[in-house]
Amino acid sequence: EAARAPHMETLFDARPRIAGPVAGGLRLDVINPATGARVGNVIPAAAPDVQAALAAATPWSAAPAERAAVLRQAADLYEQNFGAIFALLAREAGKTLADAVAELREAVDFLRYYADGADGLDAPARGRFVCISPWNFPLAIFTGQIAAALAAGNAVLAKPAEQTPLVATLAVDLLLQAGVPATALQLLPGDGAVGAMLTSDSRVNGVAFTGSTETALIIRRAMAENLDPTAPLIAETGGLNAMVVDSTALPEQAVRDIIASSFQSAGQRCSALRCLYLQEDIAPHVLEMLKGAMAELTLGNPWDLATDVGPVIDAEAQEGIAAHVAKARSEGRVLAELQAPGQGTFIAPTVIRVAGIAEMGREIFGPVLHVATFKASAIDRVIDDVNAMGYGLTFGLHTRIDDRVQRVVERIRVGNTYVNRNQIGAVVGSQPFGGEGLSGTGPKAGGPEYLMRFTAETAPQ
Ligand code: ADP
């Protein structure tokens, strides 16, 4: 890798950023999932660092307009440092350059959106807010949580995912450089144990979490046992997202949107399409077109401009997804499959036949699409089956029948429905993102009510 990109030989260092001396622990390597090369090191937070950070945490007492100005300054610094940010998103998180661009834009939008929200805010802060984020949007989600908590005047204790401490460190350094006080923003890299310490400490007044549904339930329990009962948990969790394509859909458009929805970001988006329902009469034709479109996808190093699909995050993820695909293959259910590169933790885009979404059971967090067929008369059943899974994040519909759009949108229980377009993306401000049921607590991130949840406005007197 160094030979291909000499300017990126610099190794990055991550360690706790706390308002005081760092105890730290063993230094760990951070690995590029596409190449296996070392990107840098991280010293995770040790228990004394968590304690020191909790003791030092002080709500940000600056006036709302001043907080807003600092967050806007941070947005500018993010933009100015785009090169380092893209390099880290590609090398640490395996993001394609297109994904990295979109992610930086989203992070910057969050900073400016919550800065605008802070401007008019006169609700008191809650106090100490823990923000726990995942590796799949290591800049955008990480920044969005922190920006909202800071805009509302809280002291933030941020715990990034163990796979992506480097980009989190860069983000925190830029926020501190913009003027956030060191006691109002502290970074505690580490694994779930660091998160567990934070979410079970009675000094904590609220938690923002994005990650798996299982972890959200563990956190809810830890909070119920240890925290003040008014402390909110703002959770965004998994999905089991479906798309319905009926025989009136435009096939070229549907195929393009299916490809983007299931394979972009190597399928590692909580909004990604997992189970596609094709109306029986068009299924063979759409599947043939889908295979043709898949054959055009380029797998490889996300740093290459030609790459459409990068690696999955790490060997553990790769093994879990590969086992799922291997089982389907042994049952003769693999309909299409590409070839993965010889090195790195890749999963090649794969299409698997299923009878319906219930057969999946759980979210497969990678570039694997499941396909079922339905008869026109059974479309309500399909929607009921999707609802019965209990998740409620995204849903896609391709049809030219207006009545059907209306009926399906009324019946489906999800946070975000996408009609005749791809099933990805949120737009901060105009298209907030969030789910219901097992997929999250609401309110939607990037929407008007989100910021209020970080204030003490709704707390009992
Ligand atoms: P995934 O890795 O599938 O995205 P996780 O829910 O495991 O989902 O991880 C999301 C975030 O939650 C990560 O930052 C992880 O370290 C953190 N985490 C994992 N377990 C716990 C826990 N018991 N308490 C608090 N945070 C946790």
CA distance 433 to 7: 36
Pocket of ligand 1 (CB under 6 A): 132-134, 159, 161-162, 191-192, 195-196, 199, 211-212, 215, 218-219
Among residues 270, 275, 296, 410, which one is catalytic?
A: 270
Q: What is the largest CA-CA distance in the chain?
A: 66
Indicate if 131 belongs to the active site.
no
With 0-12 CB in 10 A as exposed, 13-18 as middle and 19+ as buried, what is 203? Answer: middle
Residue in 28, 50, 130, 132 to alter for ligand 1 test, most ligand atoms within 8 A of Cβ: 132
Please choose, from the candidates 171, 131, 172, the residue with its C-alpha nearest in 3D space to the C-alpha of residue 152. 131
Torsions phi, psi of 43, nearest 5? -105, 105
Give the orientation angle of helix 140-151 with respect to helix 97-119, to 10 degrees.
10
Place of tokens 């997929």: 439
Q: Which amino acid is at 349?
A: P
Measuring from atom 19 of ligand 1, which residue has the nearest CA?
192
- Which of 42, 163, 188, 215 most suits a substitution to test ligand 1, by most atoms within 8 Å of the C-beta? 215
User: Prior bond to 443 cis, omega within 30?
Assistant: yes
List the residue whose alpha carbon is closest to atom 16 of ligand 1. Answer: 192
pLDDT in tens, the chain (461 residues): 444 444 455 678 899 999 999 998 899 999 999 999 999 999 999 999 999 999 999 999 999 999 999 999 999 999 999 999 999 999 999 999 999 999 999 999 999 999 999 998 889 999 999 999 999 999 999 999 999 999 999 999 999 999 999 999 999 999 999 999 999 999 999 999 999 999 999 999 999 999 999 999 999 999 999 999 999 999 999 899 999 999 999 999 999 999 999 999 999 999 999 999 999 999 999 999 999 999 999 999 999 999 999 999 999 999 999 999 999 999 999 999 999 999 999 999 999 999 999 999 889 999 999 999 999 999 999 999 999 999 989 999 999 999 999 999 999 999 999 999 998 877 788 788 888 888 888 788 888 889 999 999 864 43
The pLDDT, as a whole number, for residue 3 is: 45
Q: What number is the ipTM of this complex?
A: 0.99
pLDDT at 287: 98
214 CA distance to ligand 1 middle (Å): 9
| Predicted local distance difference test score (pLDDT) of residue 8 | 53
* 179 alpha carbon – ligand 1 mean position (Å): 29
Spatial CA neighbour of 391 closest among 269, 239, 273: 239
Q: Which of 131, 236, 275, 363 is catalytic?
A: 236
Q: Which atom of ligand 1 is nearest to the CA of 134?
A: 10
Q: How many Å lie between the centroid of ligand 1 and the Cα of residue 55?
A: 23
CA of 160 to the centre of ligand 1 (A): 9
Per-residue pLDDT, 7: 46
Active site residue 236: yes
Whole-number Å distance, alpha carbon 2 to ligand 1 midpoint, is 32
Separation between Cα atoms, residue 199 and residue 202, nearest integer Å: 8
Q: Can you tell me the distance from the alpha carbon of 329 to that of 458, in angstroms, rounded to the nearest whole number? A: 52
What are 321's two structure tokens?
Answer: 């997804």
Give the number of other CB atoms < 10 A from CB of residue 422. Answer: 20
Q: Note the pLDDT of residue 10.
A: 63
Q: What share of the chain is helix, strand, coil (3-state, %, to 5)?
A: 40, 15, 40
Q: What is the pLDDT of residue 427?
A: 78
Q: Determine the 3-state secondary structure of 374 from DSSP.
A: strand
How many other CB atoms are found less than 10 A from the CB of residue 66? 13
